[in-house]
Amino acid sequence: MRSADSAQQTGEQTWLWCAATIFSLIAFAANSVFCRLALRSGDIDPDSFTAIRLLGGALVLLPLCLKPLKSGASRGTWRGGFYLFVYAYLFSLAYVQLDAGVGALILFGAVQITMFALGMRGGEKLQMWVVLGMLMAFSGLIVLLAPGGSAPPLVSALFMAVAGIAWGCYSVLGKRSESPARDTAGNFLRSLPPMVIVAVIGLSQASLHITPTGAIYAIASGVLASGAGYVVWYAVVKRLRAQTAATLQLSVPVLASIAGVVLLSEPLSARMVAASLIVLGGIALALLGAKR
């Protein structure tokens, strides 16, 4: 009887972590959609969107930083705050020109490479099926970025790739987190000083503009998709190999593409469909390898 109860509890915990992982991935896709919604019609500039997004996330998580710390706990790091700022700022700059799905595919392609490299550096052993899945998924990114009439703008693509590297570093940093909620809150707070510098420069150049609609999208991105989503992700990523976590995130571009077509009326090109199918196939192969 005790064995049956234990098995049931294990099954419930598995479903709980699966649900948490899915929530995180949906939150990542929502960030792409909120950012594109805000920027595509000029409702807000990238600097203001990033500032409101980071400030919103910091404010909603601030109570977590005010609670007394347990022994060995922390409230984030300056390195985590820097990675978060670089990711969020370049993410916004890139989405001025990129469609939601295309931007997400470039972002998480760079995330995958970064997390695989850092996982190997940290001593993770390469599993053949996981590596094959990663290579297959990454080939989908190559299909998307190959020169042609539907290739994304190069500068925006580079911005998004660097944002992906920063997010990959931020995710791997979370594997050492003893308090995901407090660390996420502390990282958000530490991302604000460099953002203030960027905002001051924007004010001096009179390049900032905000409409109520743009501000609402930025707040939703900061409070819901970022604040809540990143806390859950920091809890989830501790339980995953870096390689598995990286490959799972490649499902986000597919979610963002579907949302972009449905909510933003963005075109669904044959190239994007092909790239998404290749990516999903790579994810399935990698997860199969991780399970083995």
pLDDT (tens digit per residue) in 253-287? 778 888 888 888 877 778 778 877 887 788 777 76
pLDDT (tens digit per residue) in 89-106? 999 999 998 888 788 878
CA distance 75 to 219: 23
Tell me if 69 sits within 8 A of 182, measured CB to CB. yes
Binning the chain into helix, strand and coil, the percentages to the nearest 5 are 80, 0, 20
What's the pLDDT score for residue 95? 92
What's the pLDDT score for residue 242? 77
Six token digits for residue 11: 């099954």
Identity at 155, one-letter amino acid code: V
Tell me if 169 sits within 8 A of 227, measured CB to CB. no
Q: How many residues in the chain?
A: 292
What's the pLDDT score for residue 217? 94
CA distance 147 to 79: 36
Tell me if 272 sits within 8 A of 257, measured CB to CB. yes
Q: Give, as one character, the DSSP assignment of residue 69.
A: P
Ranges of the chain with pLDDT below 70? 1-12, 65-74, 126, 141, 144-151, 287, 289-292
- Sequence-distant (6+) residues with CB within 8 A of 32 are 95, 100, 101, 103, 104, 107, 252, 256, 259, 260
What's the pLDDT score for residue 3? 54
Q: Give, as one character, the DSSP assignment of residue 125.
A: P
Residue 183 burial (CB count, 10 A): 26
Phi, psi of 195 (to 5 degrees): -70, -35
CA distance 258 to 107: 16
